[in-house]
Amino acid sequence: MNAKATSSRSAAAAPKRPARPRAGQSREIRIIGGLWKRTKLKVADKPGLRPTPDRVRETVFNWLGQDMTGLRCLDAFAGTGALGFEAASRGAKDVLIIEQDGALIEQLKKTQAQLGATALHVQRGDGVAAIRQAAPGSLDVIFIDPPFDAPLFEPALGACARALAPEGWVYLEAPTAYTDDTLSAVGLSVHRHLKAGAVHAHLLKHAPA
């Protein structure tokens, strides 16, 4: 038996290394504009966590206006916090970030401290409850981007009209398109809509009286 054959047999007999688990891995996304432009935010590898794609976020903030100075915002299902941090980066006066997952809250608070984001507040809790608890007409922008498989869209949208300022906006990210007909029961209407892959992005406002 030659050395080459022995070597091949030994390699074949070697046990395979177990694949490394993916849980806990992280990626990064970037803030697109404003004070913290190009700042990276960590994205944990968690089931259901689906950061708003850069192209969609860029479009959304074009819709809302590049300068958000003085606006009061609620990011009701924050996840990575990309929408809330983007709003604060662009000058929003007050941004409340709500998230239920403890590990994500920890990361959000680390990012807040790293940026020195004094206008931004991170709170663990229920996004729908946060919208319902907001004072009437107190919010200029409400971001609604819950996990696509969670039954949170209708209750969240149902709470928005009361909390939203007269000229305020709701950003809705969903797996299906919403229309004026489907939104009429909650007092909202569609101002802008785009589809990017599996994502439907909507900018909503109060329905005409």
pLDDT tens digit sequence for 9-68: 444 444 444 333 333 444 788 899 999 998 888 776 666 566 777 788 899 999 998 899
Is pLDDT at 2 greater than 60 in this prediction? no
Range of the structural domain that residue 188 is part of: 23-206
Phi, psi (degrees; rounded to nearest 5) at 202? -130, 145
| Total of domains in the chain | 1
Worst-scoring range by mean pLDDT, 2-6, 94-98, 136-140? 2-6
Give residue 156's pLDDT: 97
d(CA 55, CA 74): 21
Is pLDDT at 1 greater than 70 in this prediction? no
Q: C-alpha distances in angstroms, 43 versus 7, 37, 120, 144?
A: 43, 17, 19, 18
Give residue 4's pLDDT: 43
Give residue 46's pLDDT: 66
d(CA 141, CA 22): 35
**pTM for this prediction:** 0.84
Q: C-alpha distances in angstroms, 147 versus 3, 109, 163, 187, 207?
A: 57, 21, 22, 23, 26
Q: Is residue 6 a part of any domain in this protein?
A: no
Q: Is residue 10 a part of any domain in this protein?
A: no
Give residue 50's pLDDT: 64
Give residue 65's pLDDT: 85
Is pLDDT at 179 greater than 70 in this prediction? yes
Give residue 11's pLDDT: 41
Give residue 200's pLDDT: 95
Q: Is residue 64 a part of any domain in this protein?
A: yes
Q: Is residue 110 a part of any domain in this protein?
A: yes
Q: Is residue 71 a part of any domain in this protein?
A: yes
Question: What is the DSSP code (8-state) at residue 19?
Answer: P
Three-state secondary structure readout of 74-121 = EECCCCCCHHHHHHHHCCCCEEEEEECCHHHHHHHHHHHHHHCCCCEE
Q: Is residue 74 a part of any domain in this protein?
A: yes
Q: Is residue 4 a part of any domain in this protein?
A: no
* Across 88-95, average pLDDT: 96
Provide the mean pLDDT of the chain.
86
Give residue 27's pLDDT: 77
Q: Is residue 9 a part of any domain in this protein?
A: no
Token pair listed for 205:
């406002």
Is pLDDT at 178 greater than 70 in this prediction? yes
d(CA 56, CA 68): 17
CATH number at residue 131: 3.40.50.150
